[in-house]
Amino acid sequence: MAYGGYEAANGAARRQSASQQGASRHRAIKILLAGGFGAGKTTLVGAVSEIRPLRTEEPLTESGKHVDSTVGVERKTTTTVAMDFGRITLREDLVLYLFGTPGQERFWFMWDELALGALGAVVLADTRRLADCFPAIDYFERRDIPFIIALNVFEGSRRYSIEDVRVALDLDPAVPIIMCDARSRQSAKEVLITLIEHVLSVADQPVSR
């Protein structure tokens, strides 16, 4: 069911996107949400989505322990098997579809399909495990997909300045970094708005030849 659910959601977003080219005033924006295992992707989609997130959370099993590293997230008892999917109406005629990318490396094959038609991406980072978001950053940089970094601030974790994080991630100064609380709807909305503003500012720049 996991993969079928994902295909249905992705297909629906694409059909809606295609229908905008007709007379419809309605627009759909597709956004990706990436980040390491335990960074808070499922939590963020759950906080901000107005539909019950289509998620495929399964208990972590003993046999999966050697596959999914739980070091640093020992309290985590479930994992997103395929993806998180959410919908947020930004305006009456503007709907944002949020697709959580599967965290585990064995699901990399799904990313290219998922990235089709995406306007931009949020990379959710946990400062205790910053390196976990390197693969996502590499992926979006290589494909020229605009992205922002959202630092999910877990209580008790050491606070780093935005500039420290920028250096640690070797990020272009133009890439926005913001702090967030993935559990808060308002905070999650601010993350999405920051991404959309970034996408618009990138789109405004002259194409270099």
Ligand X SMILES: Nc1nc2c(ncn2[C@@H]2O[C@H](COP(=O)(O)OP(=O)(O)O)[C@@H](O)[C@H]2O)c(=O)[nH]1
Q: Which residue has the tokens 């250096």?
A: 167
Q: Strand 94-100 vs strand 78-91: parallel, antiparallel, or unpaired?
A: antiparallel
Which amino acid is it at 88?
I
Phi, psi at residue 161, to the nearest 5°?
-75, 160
Asked if residue 90 lies in contact with residue 96, where contact means CB atoms within 8 angstroms, the answer is: yes
Axis-axis angle for helices 185-204, 41-48 (nearest 10): 100
Tokens representing 176 are 């926005």
Chain positions 37 to 66 lying near Mg ion, rule: CB under 5 A, are 41-42
98 interacts with ligand X by CB under 6 A: no
80 interacts with Mg ion by CB under 5 A: yes
Q: Residues 103, 120, 146, 176: which binds ligand X (CB under 6 A)?
A: 103
Taking alpha carbons only, the member of 99, 120, 121 closest to residue 110 is: 99
Of 28 and 150, the one with the shorter C-beta distance to ligand X is 150
Of 84 and 199, the one with the shorter C-beta distance to ligand X is 84
Of 56 and 194, the one with the shorter C-beta distance to Mg ion is 56
170 interacts with ligand X by CB under 6 A: no
Q: Residues 76, 89, 164, 200: which binds ligand X (CB under 6 A)?
A: 76
Q: Residues 56, 80, 101, 194: which binds ligand X (CB under 6 A)?
A: 80
182 interacts with ligand X by CB under 6 A: yes
The partner in contact with residue 38, picked from Mg ion, ligand X, none with C-beta cut-offs of 5 to 8 angstroms by kind, is: ligand X
Q: Helices in the chain by DSSP H: which ranges?
A: 2-19, 41-48, 111-115, 134-142, 162-169, 185-204
194 interacts with Mg ion by CB under 5 A: no
152 interacts with Mg ion by CB under 5 A: no
Asked if residue 33 lies in contact with residue 45, where contact means CB atoms within 8 angstroms, the answer is: yes
Interface with ligand X (CB under 6 A): 35, 37-43, 75-76, 80, 103, 152, 154-155, 181-183
